Structure 1
């Protein structure tokens, strides 16, 4: 039996907005993803963005085999309490003998908590598919990327990226948008693996986010109008759910990296193997 703590990165208001958009929260999505990969996993979820949230401390943290940090709509360089509480909680995690995995926001929280810096990407937002992510020399040898291609695409949505690395960091992959698409941070006895993209997101989930952020998609030039956003979301859903849609797959250049769950979830699966081997 593997015990995992899921750390939901979004605020209560953001989680409610996701529900009204027809989606599950990122914590709920991770729970479903983990159960699909390992049926005997037990998950607890905490909400450090929420005022008054009860969080595990000290040896309670070490009672978990691993900790997973979700994405979030927040920006780490802002100083609101919903953010600073998460940075403080990540520091508490780094102070214990724990293994942590983070997607997108989770990576950014870890970098800042460990002494690095995250800023808005001057190249703009990476949304939909992060293209041509390349493993570094270290990444090719790292267990995060076992059975992963040396170059791949991944589902992504982020405006911010890492600009300064904390001590104890190894860059594992990058692309033209962000030189850090994955990294490892070692602090004390804690080991953090993080990715800037979202292996837990399938095309259905990113399509829901297209619809949720229609205004942003138009204002930032990804689509000319609401109809185009809706069509993009519809295409991604069709590629995910309708057999034989080679036309859509070719039009949007959707590779097996994002279409095949085994490929898409490889990093999370590898981290779970790492956690289970350490617990054995």
Structure 2
């Protein structure tokens, strides 16, 4: 299996976070895929880097799947690093190669396919998500039917999908965002994505939380810097964390289900 991982963050963000010890998102994905499909070959694309050379739709066809990471960007911003990502997502859909997206990846795919994304009226959802429930369609769909009840996941997002693309199936939602998992077809391609981050480990989330501590307090996600650090410590020590998060195999179930589905179509 050959997979293309698309990094959602621009180089400056990757460098700033890297100096704090946070792995770039494309490497988090590569590490995850190394555990899920050890024999898979992975390549990277960096559409947020405006000068980056990107594969065409024809060149993307050599891959079995495309996985798009999260990002600190917003699709609501009219900037070159956002515009180039939207244009590249069009190329992915033109290629017909199955397309998966976490958080930002789902938002980019949504906008390109005619849906809408907006700042959530509920503010920031950070850390451990509010309980997520499958829809009736989600309970039947092989991408999410492995979830047998309400579950939580690691997350960080201000924006959310407010209008799904035509023919989209909403597979899961929660009290914060009604679209937490979704699938749809557009042009020649199929898309599956989630609003949360299955690829994050608890330690990844703890580092991100520590890095963003001041912003998290300003966003009212936490009352104080001490509260942020206590939460990050609980993540690192796996204390009071739901088993579907602390067990990485359980946390990555949606991506594994997607990989199995695309493998079956080869």
TM-score band, normalised by shorter chain: over 0.9
Once residues 221 and 77 of structure 1 are traced to their aligned partners in structure 2, the CA distance between those partners, rounded to angstroms, is 22
* Aligned counterpart, 1:243: none
Is the 1:66–1:99 Cα contact (8 Å) retained in structure 2?
A: yes
Q: Which moved more, 1:257-266 or 1:68-77?
A: 257-266
Q: Does 1:17 align with 2:4?
A: no
1:196 aligned onto 2:207: no
Structure 1 partner of 2:100: 101
Match of 2:171 in 1: 172
**Unmatched 5+ stretches in structure 1:** 240-247
SS in 2 for 1:218: helix
**In structure 2, what is the equivalent of residue 67 of structure 1?**
66
User: Number of residue pairs matched?
Assistant: 266
Q: Distance in 2 between matches of 1:89 and 1:220?
A: 31
1:259 aligns with 2:246: yes
Contact 1:140–1:150, Cα closer than 8 Å, also in 2: no
Corresponding residue for 1:268?
A: 255
State the superposition RMSD in angstroms: 1.1
Q: Please give the per-residue CA displacement for 1:236-263, whole angstroms capped at 9, x wherever unaligned.
A: 1011xxxxxxxx31xxxx2111111121
- What are structure 2's unaligned runs of at least 5 residues? none
The corresponding residue for 1:80 is 79
- Which residue number corresponds to residue 210 of structure 1? 209
- Quote how far apart the aligned CAs of 1:92 are: 1.1
**TM-score, normalized by length of structure 1?**
0.92
TM-score normalized with structure 2 length: 0.97
Q: 7-16 or 90-99, which moves further after superposition?
A: 90-99
Secondary structure of 1:143's aligned partner: coil
Q: What's 2:36 paired with?
A: 37
